[in-house]
Chains A and B, each alone.
Chain A
Amino acid sequence: MGEGEGVCVQLERLLLQYMDQMENLNQKQQQLNSLIEQGWFSLSKSRYAMGIKWVSSLQYGSEMVPTVRVVTRRTAEDAHSFRVERAEDGRGEERARGGEEPAAPEQVRRRKPAHGAEVDVGGSRGEVRERSGEQTDSPVGRGSPRDPLKWFGILVPQSLRLAQRDFKQVVDLAAEIASLQSSVTCTQSQYRALLHLKQQLRGR
């Protein structure tokens, strides 16, 4: 097989890959559109239940800490992949920012120290911090004020919770679409480079 033929085979492979990626992108985009529509519908229902003023930008919190972030990674094909990372109830974020640590009721309540090494009441600060870190996994801190639902009241209608769930799914899908867009762009540039090479070979 000559060099020209090899390039043609590679071009065909890239073209098929590109078509697959575009089809996938199209499907994901349609899913995202329908999920967003559901989310808006749920928001409208909660606006109907709570009143027009209660679901608006006026209710946004004065402090906002993201509970969702995207982690980017370069793939082998030189594209970027996006992965959603959640800090549930913002507790992970709190730790990452070095902010106020959640209260550790265990430290206050412990009157009788346990046996062995854990008896060390005057333990180092690092140990205490470590224990409070473990504490964040307990259900004590559930319902943190970081949850954006709390901006709209304590007892919010079910439809607002549904809207939140829908938009969380949309965020996941958005990360997938961003990864696909990056792959599509990467395939495009590979295809163009190969096409240029093919034209050069034909010109010889």
Chain B
Amino acid sequence: MAVGGAAAVRRRGMAGRGKLIAVVGDEDTCTGFLLGGVGELNKHRRPNFLVVEKETSVAEIEETFKGFLSRDDIGIILINQYIAEMIRHVIDAHTLSIPAVLEIPSKEHPYDAAKDSILRRAKGMFTTDDFR
């Protein structure tokens, strides 16, 4: 009973802490979400966001994104869809629920549902044979 109680307290503590929201996006997207209060610089001065500029290489984006995927304190990763397109293979390979990857539009590139990983997975779900 006592062990169960201690476990419940521990669980509550972890739930109370919550997870972070990471952002990979252009300057305005990151500025907006940081204004919304998602930004964190941890004790190692590692941010939970990446401002993608013209000079940012795809390798850097991929490395940062993989870093976010491997961090257990991140619950959601928000990424501009045009940046997601650059590292599509990494996003497609990620099938876990946590962290959830959400593709969002950017100022220059409107959201296209046909490119979204989740919706593309849904597209290939049904065949006419299944409805027999």
Decide: A170 near B31, CB < 8 A? Known: A71-B15, A181-B102: no
Among A43, A85, A171, point to the contact of B31 (Cβ < 8 A). Answer: A43
Residues facing A in B76-104 (CB within 8 A) are 76, 78, 95, 97-98, 100, 102, 104
CA A143 to CA B19, docked complex, whole Å: 24
Residues of A within 8 A of B122 (CB): 22, 184, 188
Contact (Cβ within 8 A) A86 B37: yes
A-B pair number, CB within 8 angstroms: 140
Residues of B within 8 A of A36 (CB): 29, 32, 104-105
CA A85 to CA B15, docked complex, whole Å: 10
Among B17, B19, B37, B78, point to the contact of A148 (Cβ < 8 A). Answer: B37
Residues of A within 8 A of B75 (CB): 69-70, 72, 82, 178
* A interface: dominant SS: helix
Contact (Cβ within 8 A) A69 B20: yes
Decide: A177 near B102, CB < 8 A? Known: A22-B122, A69-B17, A182-B97: yes
CA A181 to CA B94, docked complex, whole Å: 13
Contact (Cβ within 8 A) A66 B100: no
Cβ contacts A151-169/B at 8 Å (1 or 0 each): 0000000001001101110
Contact (Cβ within 8 A) B100 A181: yes
Residues facing B in A66-86 (CB within 8 A) are 66-73, 79-80, 82, 85-86
Spot the interface stretch: A25-33, A101-109, A129-137: A25-33
Contact (Cβ within 8 A) B15 A73: yes
Most A CB within 10 A of own CB, among B17, B32, B40, B111: B32
Q: Which 9 A-B pairs have the closest CB atoms?
A: A69-B18, A67-B37, A167-B36, A178-B100, A70-B75, A64-B39, A167-B32, A164-B35, A80-B97
Query: What are 12 sample pairs from A and B whose C-beta atoms fall under 8 A apart?
Result: A63-B41, A64-B47, A66-B37, A66-B40, A70-B75, A72-B19, A72-B98, A170-B32, A171-B37, A178-B102, A182-B97, A188-B122
